[in-house]
Structure 1
Amino acid sequence: INGLQLKVMMVQILVGIFLYVNCLMIFTFLKKEIFREDTRYILFAQTLLVDSVLLVLSDVMLIWNTYLYPIHMIPCIIICTFVTVLTTCTPLTLVAMCLERYVAICMPLRHADISTSRTRLLGLLIIWSLSCIAPLFTFVAFLAVVHPGALFSSAVCTVEILYEQDWQAQMRIVILQLLFLTMTLIIVFTYIKIMIAARAASTDKKKSTNKSLRTVILHAFQLFLCIMQFLNPYIEIVFLKLDISVYGQLRYANFVIFIIAPRCLSPLIYGLRDEKFFHVLKHYALFGFDTFFSGFKGCISKLPGT
């Protein structure tokens, strides 16, 4: 096995592990009604689903690029547009999760009135609508400048293929910068508010407040990695013109650090740190044997002489 094949194999192992964990968590979410009625877990489930689909599509595109496999332009354009929508959806959902924690900690008496099925639906519509702004602009701009005959050709599918002219990439950067600046300000606002609430909280509430504070910090780190993911194509294109071997190594490094890594944080933040969710997750991960062993241990403890 040469170095290129080994890298591809390692990426497939990482992707497989990630997808298994995500599918197990999505299954756990669907099995319990209490999770399906909680805004925090609904946003978490959306993050899992979006990240899983995004990872699969990104992995397929990585393999196409590695082996220079050309596909028809029309499906390539559709896939690239959809990938960009999903890439923007994840950080927007993270911001929504931070806002949900802000309402739960700083406005506990109004949390039940604010977090309703109607506001959840409205929030999800806003997230997906904002996620579509930059990709739809890029899609329409590409169709406006591309030669009609090019749509019926084949090419190695990358997101950069949508940028026929420099002004398209520059406009996309401007839109994303405005979007991520707004998201950063919201996360900083929620962090400061929750930090103030943590200092003023009683001893009983201080533990949950501090945990929410750490959650916002982790989301901020995720958002930083997501921002870097949008900048990667512009960094990679420079190395593509300079050295193709360095470009290949950089692309693999960026895929692992800025695509796989931030999507491993979501299961960690809510799937493993959340005691309620982790208890149910462990039950399904062990195929229900945890209940059997707990019952068996209880029977043993009741025997005479134990």
Structure 2
Amino acid sequence: MSSQTNITAERGLLEFVLFSVPITVPCCVFLCINGIMLFILRCKSVFRETSRYVLLFNLLFADTLHMALSQLLFLLSVFQIRLTYPVCGVVVMLADITREISPLTLVVMSLERYVAVCYPLRHSTFITIRNTAVAVIVVWAFSSLNNVARVILLLDISVEDLVNLRMKDFCAKENMLLGRYSGDHDKAYNYFLFVSAGVAVSCSYIGVMIAARSACTDKDSVRKARNTLLLHLVQLGLSLSSTLHNPLIKAIAKVTDRLAMLRVRSFLYVCIILLPRCLSALIYGIRDQTIRPILLYHLHCRLKLPVVPAKAKVSQ
């Protein structure tokens, strides 16, 4: 009996490792790519002094932090490491804050492209580095205040008992001791957030399409702005899909055992959480003619390849 138990435990551990390694390695690769992108956006003045690149830095920073926190939570669940409620609460709160930053930043980026196309003469007046910094601060403050209020108002346990209380299961939002109105609060906030963001991005796209019919508008600029806004809509949809992760996990946990739930959770984690956060670096790193040669230069570890150095020097 003891031998069978050990074999079962070893198989379970092996399966956990086989689940975690194929997911962790690509995640680390994309974290490195995002880190290179963040370094590029801060190392040159042309990126630090341009509003759309400042917004892109904020988007990538939030996506990178959210990816790292999500991977941490995933590994904690795979290896069944239990935390105390305060520690888990801080990690989950930070993950929620960074998750909500993406749609809010996409709204600001869409409005910036709308002003650039529809009001080109006023763009330099409205879209300044100072106003962009204020917009970024407002985005972070709005997301942070919402999550802090949720923790304070909806936590269904006293602070004295919370300090030394260890969780009975792995660290996840659905395993936190939240009040009975927590689900309603999350649904209402998510509906409000993504409906508002969807309306803002869609209106920006419609405004750009209307501007495209004007004879005095730069057609090439309008085409690029239209494609960018379409990408923003796709990214917004992918961000919306992340809100379905926890409800799906709850529903699946009721009808499957722990190992089957781990398999499904791993699949959903890759499709819903990980992949959407990897797209920003790929989309903007490849599409942007200013970033692409520098990104390729750094991805080649600064090797003196035939094509890269010439482009890199031009960008520098």
TM-score by length of 2: 0.86
Quote the residue 1:146 is aligned against. 157
Aligned residues: 293
Match in the other structure for 1:283: 297
Q: Which string of whole-angstrom CA distances, capped at 9 and with x for unpartnered residues, describes residues 244-276 of structure 1?
A: 344222211221112221112211232110101
1:163/1:169 contact within 8 Å kept: no
Counting aligned pairs with the same residue, the percent is: 27
In 1, the alpha carbon distance for the partners of 2:105 and 2:224 equals 19
2:220 maps to a residue whose letter is K
Matching residue of 2:126: 114
Residue 29 (structure 2) pairs with residue 17 (structure 1) = yes
> Which residue among 198, 209, 229 is the counterpart of 1:216?
229
> Offset at 1:290?
4.9
Contact residue 142 and residue 162 of structure 1 kept, 8 A:
no
Q: In the aligned structure 1, how far is the partner of 2:171 from the partner of 2:307?
A: 50
The residue type equivalent to 1:59 in the other structure is Q
For structure 2, list consecutive stretches of 5 or more residues without a partner in the other structure: 1-10, 311-316
1:99 aligned partner? 111
Matching residue's letter, 1:158? A
Secondary structure of the structure 1 residue equivalent to 2:234? helix
With normalisation by structure 1, the TM-score equals: 0.89
SS of the aligned residue for 2:178 comes to coil
CA distance in 2, matches of 1:263, 1:157: 21
Q: 1:15 to 1:140 in 2, by over 3 A?
A: same
Contact 1:102–1:194 (8 Å) recurs in 2: yes
- The answer to whether 1:88 aligns with 2:100 is yes
| Greater helix share, structure number | 1
- Provide the aligned C-alpha RMSD in A: 2.1
Matches within 5 A, 1:161-176: 161-176=175-190
**Which residue pairs with 2:252 in the alignment?**
239
Q: Following the alignment from structure 1 to structure 2, what is the Cα–Cα distance between the partners of residues 31 and 23?
A: 12
Which position in structure 2 is the counterpart of 1:251? 265
* Distance verdict in 2 for CA 1:150–1:275, change over 3 Å: same
Q: What is the distance in 2 between the residues matched to 1:11 and 1:56?
A: 12
Deviation of the 1:154 alpha carbon: 1.3
Structure 1 distance, partners of 2:305, 2:115, is 35
State the shift of 1:110 in Å.
0.6
- Name structure 1 gaps, 5 residues minimum: 296-306
